[in-house]
Structure 1
Amino acid sequence: MSNTESFEYGYVYHIYTHANGKDLIFREDENYKYFLSKLLKYIIPIAEIYVYCLMPNHFHLLIRFKDSDQVSNEDEHKYLMRQFSNLLNGYAKAYNKKYNRKGSLFLDFLRRKRVDDEKYLIKLLHYIHNNPVNHGFVENINEWKYSSYHSYINFTKESKIEREEMMQYFETIKDFVEYHKSNVEYDFLTIE
């Protein structure tokens, strides 16, 4: 399904993956912070990050690949995938070493779906930020530390999140917050 779509420069993608089996990707605060540092190292050079949420056993990203003429069209998917491979493999190696474990940490493929529709884009913003609430980890979206939600509501603070793109759909931060409190039907996807 969506894990066969090729990455292309200039397009927005919803990217997500799960831990292998019943494993956790993140066990403690340090894990989340280390993953975010790897995200900055490998993904920020090639993409604008609009939204992210890191959960104990999976994560979601909403990104737009930056335009580039460094790589030919037939090689752009491989080049962009290599950056994600470097991110996931680098994190998994450090995680396995820290917790004295062996084997694959992530599922063997990176799920991805190109986002071509504005309504879908806005629903994904809601879905990704509300993921910790929907999975029962917190009751209130404000309680989850490992998402881009706080970057948006603290808009005056500097951030690596490309917030302007998503904020164009809201007149104020208050509107943004109210949208996240509203009930939105996720009729467009079935994600675990």
Structure 2
Amino acid sequence: MPRPNRIFVEGGFYHVYNRLGRGERYFERETEAEAFIGLLREVVERDGLTVFAWTLMSNHYHLAVRAGVISLDRPMRSLQQRVTRGINARNRVYGPLWQGRYRAKLVADQRYLDQLLVYIHLNSVNAGVVEDPAQYRWSGHRELLGRVKKPIVDVDEVLRVFGTSRRSARAAYVRRLKGATEEEWIGEEPGRLPWWRLGRPPKGEDEDPETAVREQRSREELGPEWRPALEAVDFISRGAGFLSVEVDDLQSRHRSRDLVRARELLMILGVERYRLKVKDLARVLRKSPDGMTQTVARAIRRRTDDRRFRVDLNQLDRALAKAKV
């Protein structure tokens, strides 16, 4: 029987990690490390994740991320599955690549956020790979120092944790790294870290499921328990009808406020709750996948800031779920 999807708190900070199985160390190879980072960048941009820290070691990875509207389970499953297919194909092997499902811990206490970032970016130092984290290529540390043109880390968001200006925040971040080398927890395995030990859930669980479900249901205002399986073309057609707009208008180049809002509602609902692919929705709307990815990102921000948008989104969700297929 398949394991149920996890429920993640929107806007929550998570420490995510996993290890390769079979005693493999594939990421020692530059080509495999580059492939992993390329896929990580892709799912982060596609699903609107905010990355605060990351590192890739020879046989495992760590991420510090803030979950968005799209469940964290979607990008993480996609990342691991695609990495598995690629490595197995290139090395002509079969079977599971990872030790199991990725582990994810909600870091609810903000006191531990800076410790999490420091822990991840000092991983290569603690492993004895380098003496200075700036010497390690497969990490977000160099991105925070401004040495990478296209960072995966959201540099501005991270630096706000450490200061009010980029210069002062970077200095504070570097001081925090240097001061952490003597901390007792810095070399521990994830399960023994302070933020993992707090409120430890039952064995086999990453967080209290009842609390997570309650928070999720509150956010979605008791949205529908069941949603019909719809193809992208049917989803857009039905959604347009409920929004009282024409599909032809959605497909046009017109950018009136109502049309932009309708596209955002349909894209975020289709991707987040109906598990439709951006490229399929984009094809129906006759737009580019990149453009529709940006639409989803805008909708994520609007959903956070605009209560009316959240209400309209949940109303559209319920209307589609109640309609006869």
Report the aligned-residue RMSD.
2.3
Give unpaired runs (5+ residues) of structure 1. 69-75
Is 1:12 paired with 2:9? no
Task: Indicate the structure with greater strand content.
Answer: 1
Query: Which of the numbers 99, 109, 129 marks the counterpart of 2:91?
Result: 99
Q: Deviations over 1:41-98 (max 9, x none)?
A: 2233321111100000000000011235xxxxxxx4xxx4233222111111111111
Is 1:123 paired with 2:115? yes
What CA distance in whole angstroms lies between the structure 1 residues aligned with 2:100 and 2:12?
23
Indicate the structure whose relative CO is greater, using CA pairs within 8 Å and at least 6 residues apart: 1
What CA distance in whole angstroms lies between the structure 2 residues aligned with 1:156 and 1:101?
34
Residues 158-167 or 112-121, more deviating? 158-167
* Aligned CA distance change for structure 1 residues 155 and 169 (closer, same or farther; 3 Å): farther
* Partner SS state of residue 6, structure 1: coil
What CA distance in whole angstroms lies between the structure 2 residues aligned with 1:148 and 1:60?
11
Task: Indicate the structure with greater helix content.
Answer: 2
* Aligned CA distance change for structure 1 residues 115 and 44 (closer, same or farther; 3 Å): farther
What CA distance in whole angstroms lies between the structure 2 residues aligned with 1:155 and 1:139?
18
What CA distance in whole angstroms lies between the structure 1 residues aligned with 2:152 and 2:28?
24
What CA distance in whole angstroms lies between the structure 2 residues aligned with 1:94 and 1:131?
25
Is 1:165 paired with 2:192? no
Amino acid of the residue matched to residue 137 of structure 1? V
Is 1:114 paired with 2:99? no
Q: Deviations over 1:167-188 (max 9, x none)?
A: 123232222212111133428x
Residue of structure 2 in register with 1:45 after alignment: 46
Residue of structure 2 in register with 1:83 after alignment: 75
What CA distance in whole angstroms lies between the structure 2 residues aligned with 1:84 and 1:45?
12
* Partner SS state of residue 100, structure 2: coil
* Aligned CA distance change for structure 1 residues 44 and 104 (closer, same or farther; 3 Å): same
* Partner SS state of residue 13, structure 1: strand
Q: Deviations over 1:144-181 (max 9, x none)?
A: 10000000011784533212222123232222212111
Is 1:62 paired with 2:61? no
Residue of structure 2 in register with 1:135 after alignment: 127
* Partner SS state of residue 56, structure 1: coil
Contact 2:28 2:57 survives alignment (8 Å): no
* Aligned CA distance change for structure 1 residues 163 and 185 (closer, same or farther; 3 Å): farther
* Partner SS state of residue 78, structure 2: helix
Query: Which of the numbers 123, 138, 145 marks the counterpart of 1:153?
Result: 145
Amino acid of the residue matched to residue 174 of structure 1? A
Query: Which of the numbers 176, 185, 188 marks the counterpart of 2:173?
Result: 176
Shift of the alpha carbon at 1:119? 1.7
Contact 2:26 2:58 survives alignment (8 Å): yes
What CA distance in whole angstroms lies between the structure 1 residues aligned with 2:99 and 2:50?
24
Which structure has the larger Rg? 2
Residues 155-164 or 122-131, more deviating? 155-164
Q: Structure 1-normalised TM-score?
A: 0.83
Q: Structure 2-normalised TM-score?
A: 0.51
Residues 166-175 or 31-40, more deviating? 166-175
Amino acid of the residue matched to residue 45 of structure 2? I
What CA distance in whole angstroms lies between the structure 2 residues aligned with 1:152 and 1:14?
18
What CA distance in whole angstroms lies between the structure 1 residues aligned with 2:129 and 2:105?
25
